[in-house]
Chains A and B, each alone.
Chain A
Amino acid sequence: MSPSSKQTTEPDNIRVRIYRFDPETDREPRYESYEVPRTPRMRIMDVLDYIHEIKEVDFGYRWLCGTKKCGTCAVNVNGSPKLACWEEAEQEMTIEPLSNLPLVRDLVTSRDPFEAFLAKLSPLLVRRRDYPGFPEPLSEQIMAPTVHLRDCIQCLACQSACPVLQQPDSGFAGPALLVALSELAQDPRDEADRARLADEVAQVFKCVSCYECERVCPTEIPIVSEAIQPLKRLVYRRGEAAAARRAHAFLDVVKARGRAEAAPIALKTKGISLNALRLALRLMRRGKLSLVDVFPKRPSPGMEAMRKTYQSDGDAK
C-alpha cells in the first residue's frame, strides 16, 4: 500500500514519519508518512502497532513486554531516545532507530556489539574466597549504593544519546555498560579487578559528564553520579591510570597555586609535546597564557588556609 496516498486528514490525527531502511535490499534510507487516529493515553507503541496491524505496513520494530521491563522497544522520537511502550505519543513524530548501534532494518538495531562489550567486562560477581552459600544474607549496607543501578533495563537509550559513542572508534563503553560494571564494582562481595576493567577496557575517563544519559534514562538512574563517578574514584584510588594522574595533578596545582591553571596541569600530566606547544603558542600570542603561569608561586596565608582545609579530608587517598 502506498504510504501517503490514502490519508484521512482529521485535525486530531497523529502524524508520523517512520524511518525505513533494509540494508540488504535498499540503496538508501527513506521516510514514510502516516496519519493515525488518536485514542486516549496513546503510547508510541500503540501508534507503531496501528500502522503495522490496521494499515498493514510491513516494517521492522521490536518489543516484548510492553511494560517497561524488557528494554527492547527504545527508538528515537524526534531525535531523542524513548521507550515506545512507556511514553505518550506526540502529535507529530519522526521515529527512527536508536543511534550508535548497527542497523538491522527499519527501527530495529543490533544489540550484538553491546553484548560483546558486556562480556569483556566480566559481568558476573567474581568470588574467589569461600562464602556461606545460599541463601546468603544480604545487608542493606551492601545493596544501598547500587539500588538505583539495579533499575537498569538495558534499553540502550543512554548509549544512543551519548555524544562520545557518536565518535567513531572512541573506545568508550558508554553509560549502560558502565552502569552494569559499576553495580559489580560497588558490590563488596566482588573480587574482580574492576578498576582495571573500568580504566583499560571500559575507558571510563572518556565520559564527558554531559548528563545526556541521565536525561533520556526511562528508569531515571543517576548514571553520572552513582555509576560513573564511583568507577572514576576506583580508578583514582588504584593510582596508575593516566586519568588518575590528571586528577592528582589537578589537585596538586590547586593546592600549590590557589586555582587550577591549565599549563602546569598539562605539564604535570602529559609533559611537553608538539601538539601542546602549538596550543601554548597559540594562546600566548593572544595573551591567554604567559610564561609566568608555569613558574612556582609563593603561597599567600589565605592559600595556606585553603590547602589545610582541603587536606583535612585526607584528599590524597
Chain B
Amino acid sequence: MKWRYAYFPGCSAKGTCRELDLSTHAVAALFDVELEELENPGCTGAREFRAVSEQLHLTANGRILALAEREGCDLVAVCDTCLLNLTETNRRLKADRAARDAVNRALASEGLAFKGEREVKHFLWVMTEDLGEERLKERVVRPLRGLKVAPFYGCHIQRPSTVYGAGAAGEAPALDRLCRLLGGEVVEYPGASKCCGFHVVSVEERIAVRMSGGHLSNAKSNGAQCIVTPCPLCHTVFDAYQPSIEREFRSKYEVPVLHVSQLAGLAFGLSAAAVALSRHVVGCESVLAHIGYGAAQAAASVR
C-alpha cells in the first residue's frame, strides 16, 4: 500500500531543525509514504502574521492549503504551530464564504484557489492513524528497551479545544502510545501537556527558559532519559536553550531531546546518521547506548 501527501516542512525543519526534515523523510521512505514537498510555500506565520493582520494570516495559510490541493492530497506538517495555523485556516475557509472569497482573490494572480477539499495532519498522526499501530509495531527492529521517554506534546497540537475538541484528554495521546509500541517506557510528569514558552523567547528569553526549565527538571526527576516532541519549536527551547536553562537553574540536566521521527526511526532500525542525530546541542549518546549501541559506536555516531 502506498500513501501520498503534500508535505509542508515549515521554517524550523528547513532551518535550525533540519534533522527533523531529514528524519521525517527517512521514516516515510521505510513505509512507502510519499511526501511531495511544496515549492516556495512561504510560511504559516507562526504567531506573527496574526499580529500583523488577520487577512495576511488567512492568505498565507490559504496559499499553502491551495498548493496542497493542487497536488491532490492531504497536507502534512511536522510543527505544532504550523499545524494549528493550517488546521484553523482550513476550517475557517471551508465554513466562511466571505473569508474564502477574499483569500481566493489574493491567490488568483498565481492561478491558485482554495477549494476546501483536503485535510491537514501532523506526521505523528500519519504514523499512528494512517499507517496504523500494527504496521508500526511490525517494523520495530531495534526496540527502545524500556528507554524512559518523557513525551512533550506542545500546545498547538492539542489546544485550543475549538480546533481539536475537548475529548482528547481521556484517551492516551498518540505520542504516548507510539513511545510504548516502540518499546519505550512513558515517564509520567506534570509538564507533558504544558507550554515550552517558545513564543515568548524573543520577547523575554528568561520567561521561556524558566517555563521550560520547570518541565525539564520535572521530567528529569521522574526518571526521563530523554524528551520526545512532535514540535521543532519545543525542541529548540529544550535542546538549543538547554545550556541557558542549566545556567538559570544552576543544575546540570543533559537530557537529550528527540523529534518523534528520530525516536521512531531509531526503533525502526535507521542509523543515528540517517535520523541526523548529530545535529543536537545536547548529545544523544546516552540514548544510543541504552538501545544497544556500544559506547564508542554511540559517541562516534553523534559527532
Contact = CB atoms under 8 A, between A and B. Distances in A.
A310 B16 contact: no
Interface residues of B, number: 63
B155 A259 contact: no
B205 interface: yes
Contacts of B47: 209
Contact of A247 (B51, B241, B243, B280): B51
| Interface SS majority for chain B | helix
Contacts of B49: 247, 250-251
Given A286-B279, A286-B280, A258 B40 contact: yes
Given A163-B197, A209-B199, A313 B59 contact: yes
Interface in B107-130: 107, 109-110, 112
Interface in A249-279: 250-251, 254, 258-262, 265-266, 269-270, 275, 279
B207 A250 contact: no
A287 to B, nearest CB: 5
Interface string B132-163: 00000000000000000000000110011110
Contact of A163 (B45, B105, B194): B194
B52 interface: yes
A253 B199 CA distance: 17
Given A205-B203, A315-B56, A212 B159 contact: yes
B53 interface: yes
B240 A306 contact: no
B300 interface: no
A302 B40 contact: yes
A219 interface: no
A310 B106 CA distance: 8
B209 to A, nearest CB: 10
Interface residues of A, number: 64
Interface in B188-243: 190, 194-195, 197-200, 202-208, 210-211, 240-241, 243
Contacts of B53: 233, 313-315, 317
A258 B8 CA distance: 13
A222 B163 CA distance: 11
Contacts of B46: 250, 260
A37 to B, nearest CB: 27
B254 to A, nearest CB: 14
B55 interface: yes
B52 A236 contact: yes
Nearest to B194: A163
B200 A206 contact: yes
A164 B208 CA distance: 9
B11 interface: yes
Interface string A150-167: 000000000000011011
A238 B105 CA distance: 28
Nearest to B88: A225
Contacts of B45: 250, 254
Contacts of A214: 159-162
A152 to B, nearest CB: 17
Contacts of B179: none
Given A232-B51, A260-B11, A302 B39 contact: yes
Contact of A210 (B42, B195, B203, B281): B195
Nearest to A164: B207
A170 B207 contact: yes
B16 A288 contact: yes
Contacts of A170: 204, 207
B252 interface: no
B207 A282 contact: no
Given A215-B159, A286-B281, A310 B56 contact: yes
Nearest to A269: B202
Given A167-B211, A250-B46, A313-B106, A288 B279 contact: yes
Interface in A207-242: 207-212, 214-215, 222, 224-225, 229, 232-233, 235-236, 242
B42 A215 contact: no
A211 B200 contact: no
B162 A222 contact: yes
Q: Which of B41, B48, B51, B243 has the most CB of A within 10 A?
A: B51
Q: Which of B47, B55, B106 has the most CB of A within 10 A?
A: B47
Given A215-B159, A288-B240, A312-B106, A236 B51 contact: yes
A313 B56 contact: yes
Given A215-B159, A236-B52, A254-B42, A262 B203 contact: no
29 contacts: A79-B190, A163-B211, A164-B207, A166-B211, A170-B207, A206-B203, A209-B156, A212-B155, A212-B159, A222-B160, A222-B162, A233-B50, A233-B52, A236-B52, A242-B203, A243-B51, A282-B243, A288-B18, A289-B16, A306-B40, A306-B63, A308-B110, A309-B59, A309-B109, A309-B112, A312-B59, A312-B105, A313-B59, A315-B56
Nearest first, the 5 A-B pairs at minimum CB distance are A302-B40, A210-B195, A211-B159, A250-B48, A232-B51
